[in-house]
Amino acid sequence: MEGKTVNIIDKINLLIKDKHELFKEKTIEEFVSICFWDNLLVSNQNEHSGKTETILNNFTGCERFSTKDTKKMFDYFLDSFLLRYREKLPTDKKEKLKEVKKWWNMMSEEYRLLSLFQKDTTIIQKFPSLLINLYELKLFKLDEVKSFIINNEYCLNKLDWNDSSIDIVRFTKENGLNKEIKQAYADEHVNFGSVFNPSVFVDCSKIFSLQNHYLHN
């Protein structure tokens, strides 16, 4: 957390703790800061071989953060974004949104997300409901939501794309994106051998060119 010194044991405990619990316990600023912490490489002093252990920042289940929860994160990012360009935030919500869109539209598509999410768009991969927040504020179009999900197949392929209890899955179903996303993921697996996710093959209608090869070999 910025401006604070955290001892190693506390840091490990914060890294591995369930993010849903952290979200309830920490301020939004502290929570976001922890989310941006790198994995921790720890040396085992009891080993003469120099073995190390990687303590991963735990994002298990973060795809289930609701849009209501990620909206709090999103608002924090918006405030931080605006404060880079002006000394004070507008008190009026409409004025604030107008300012955000003004700066957003002045930026290239490649730089927008990096600027908004503090140069680390992997936060969206971990909390995909942020895509819905972007869409609801009209900073992202549906095609951009779809493209982000398809282009980040490596990280988002773990989701059950039939489970409507996950907000981003329900959103893709409600907006006619779900089958296209699953088809793209299925194509990726068949053609390039990506991690197998059975949920993406549900509702797929395309006949894969390699199907007969797999059946007869």
pLDDT digits (tens, 9 = 90+) for 85-125: 888 998 898 999 999 999 999 999 889 999 999 889 999 99
- Mean pLDDT for the chain overall: 86
- Identify whether the C-beta of residue 121 lies closer than 8 Å to the C-beta of residue 114: yes
pTM score, whole prediction: 0.85
* pLDDT recorded at residue 217: 43
Alpha helices in 36-138 (DSSP H): 67-83, 93-106, 109-116, 122-126, 129-136
> pLDDT confidence of 195, banded at 50, 70, 90?
low
Rounded (10°) angle between helices 129-136 and 142-151: 160
Going by C-beta distance under 8 Å and a sequence separation of 6 or more, which residues neighbour residue 113?
A: 121, 124
Token pair 């090869």: residue:
213
**DSSP run (H or E) holding 108:** none
Burial environment of residue 19 by CB neighbours within 10 A (0 to 12, 13 to 18, 19 or more): buried
* pLDDT recorded at residue 4: 62
